[in-house]
Structure 1
Amino acid sequence: MSDKSSSNAYWAANLRIIGISLAVWFFCSFGLGIILRPALEGIKVGGADLGFWFAQNGSIYVFLVLIFVYAWRMNKLDLEHGVEE
């Protein structure tokens, strides 16, 4: 595989990881916190409705988990393409 196609494959994989991460975060923050909030009203978490919890806290926790998942996946991708630090 040439250097140019290897570089393109690396960046395509990187953009795929970023896109999936953004989609998960969008679904958790906008989808569960705003759009599906009325459907989640009956479920209580820490004294608040689950939709409110996702809008206030859940999306932040999901974002923190996504940071660690992204770092783990990028380290794995770097090793696969030989660009590790």
Structure 2
Amino acid sequence: MVDREKLEAYWKKNLSLIRNVLIVWFLVSYLAGILLVDVLNTIKIGGYPLGFWFAQQGSIYVFVALIFIYAKLMGKIDEEFDVAED
């Protein structure tokens, strides 16, 4: 049987990672794609305003990157608590 304190610590780290990923997701999608679009539109990337780029493509790239970052960090947490899959 696994120690209850170890399980609680594992779950706490898991929730902390999920919270941080969701915060980044929110900041990129809501702030950069909606609220800060006018400010970001003053910067051009490839001839397109940065606000438009974030709303159309940039946020998708960040979301895909977050998937890989989450998987890698969750793997490290699993190894730390000795629950990793082989």
Supply the distance in 1 between the matched residues of 2:43 and 2:7 (Cα, whole angstroms): 47
**1:12-55 CA deviation, whole Å, 9 max, x = no partner?**
10010011001001101110111000111111123221011111
State the match for 2:46 in structure 1.
Answer: 46
CA RMSD of aligned residues (A): 1.1
State the match for 1:23 in structure 2.
Answer: 23
Fraction of identical pairs, as percent: 52
Q: Return 5+ residue gaps in structure 1 as ranges.
A: none
Alignment of 1:1-80 (within 5 A): 3-80=3-80
Deviation at 1:63?
0.6
**Greater CA drift, 74-83 or 38-47:** 38-47
Q: Return 5+ residue gaps in structure 2 as ranges.
A: none
Kindly provide the amino acid, as one letter, of the partner of residue 60 in structure 1.
I
Supply the distance in 2 between the matched residues of 1:28 and 1:60 (Cα, whole angstroms): 9
TM-score (norm 1): 0.93
Segments of 4+ moved more than 2 angstroms: none
* Number of equivalences: 84
Deviation at 1:3?
1.1
Deviation at 1:75?
0.6
